[in-house]
Chains A and B, each alone.
Chain A
Amino acid sequence: MKQLMSGNVALGEAAILSGCTHYFGYPITPQNEITEYMARRLPGAGGVFIQSESEIAAINMVLGASAAGARAMTSSSGPGMSLKQEGISYLVADELPAVIVNVVRGGPGMGSIAGAQSDYFQATRGGGHGDYRTVVLAPASVQEVTEIVPLAFDLADRYRNPVIILADGILGQMMEPVDFDGLVRPPDYDKPWVLTGAKDRPARKIHSLIFDVKLQEEHNWKLQRKFRLIEQSEVRCETHLTDDAEMVVVAYGIGARIAKGAIKRLREEGKKVGLLRPVTLWPFPVQALRDLAKTVDDFFVFEMSAGQMVEDVRLALEGQGRIHFYGRPGGVAPMPVELYRIVSRHYLQAHADGEGRPR
């Protein structure tokens, strides 16, 4: 049954339906609706809500709750996400599941409270210390939230790793029809490592300090093997009008919504532009890009930032094709018509340059 709901509220409801029983969060715009929704709804659903004293406390409460076996979640934005980076590093090192939602706002510093896409590096490169990765999922609609959130909890439990949901302030606030009927609660995983008290079994320990560097290296390679497995198995992306495309826009989340609007106009004029929309920002859809590069020369990266994902596109293409970029940082959301004009110019330019060049 469809209901009209904001992205933030849908994130909260989807989490509860996915089996999230513990939420810890601190108020920060533009994600307060998540915190407030969990405060209203979670206790009645048999869960625990705590408004923590800081984002640092929240991520550490998630860590403790996860170690005790619960599906735990926190959400934040901007400066709050920066505060959580230490905790995320510890979660990875401890091999603990967790879901962390970043409703991205303009930055850096205090920034703005408008939606942006300027935390891509922080999310995909790992803003905390050490060699690590987290799965990063980017929903592009309120309905897609109902798929992304259970996926996040599932991947977190399955791989024993934190998962970041990279939303943004526009998605968080916008109201769209959403239907939860198709949401499948992820299965419960056997967790033989949880701390429950050493009753009739040997004592367990969860720690990430390993003084012996060779053992620390071993631990790191073990984590890396996990990340390689995730890279092989969990890439998700959407392609839109790419079959005959001569230029492919690469955009995610709200950026992809704007891009679709621009592409609609471009197509009306006969310009053959398509879209590749990464859903997993890490692991990045490298192969999908390389496959497109067999027939497409021009890739147009659009982000609501000064340019972060564009580096992953460059890395993936390894010199193939031509890469164009348009970005607006700080929380500015260009209208589709603005993007259409810029892409159009680049498209025409590419055609003018490309006449007669060998394929």
Chain B
Amino acid sequence: MDGTIRIDRERCKGCALCIEFCRKGCIRLSDDLNLKGHFVAAFDDDKGCNACRNCALMCPDVAIEVCVP
């Protein structure tokens, strides 16, 4: 099943737990700084996200929404 996630960049604190627990390597820490000064996580939609929701389960800031088309 294809999946996609949306990351709320202003809530993200760059803790990278989503990156650690994504089994497909869909998420990376970007060079983007948000208003709070954190490097935010970014989603790559070409890595085969399967909407497993691990990232959202682990996100301590509830910054991730997971969708399936």
Q: Do A's and B's CB atoms come within 8 Å in the complex?
A: no
Q: Chain B interface (Cβ within 8 Å of chain A)?
A: none
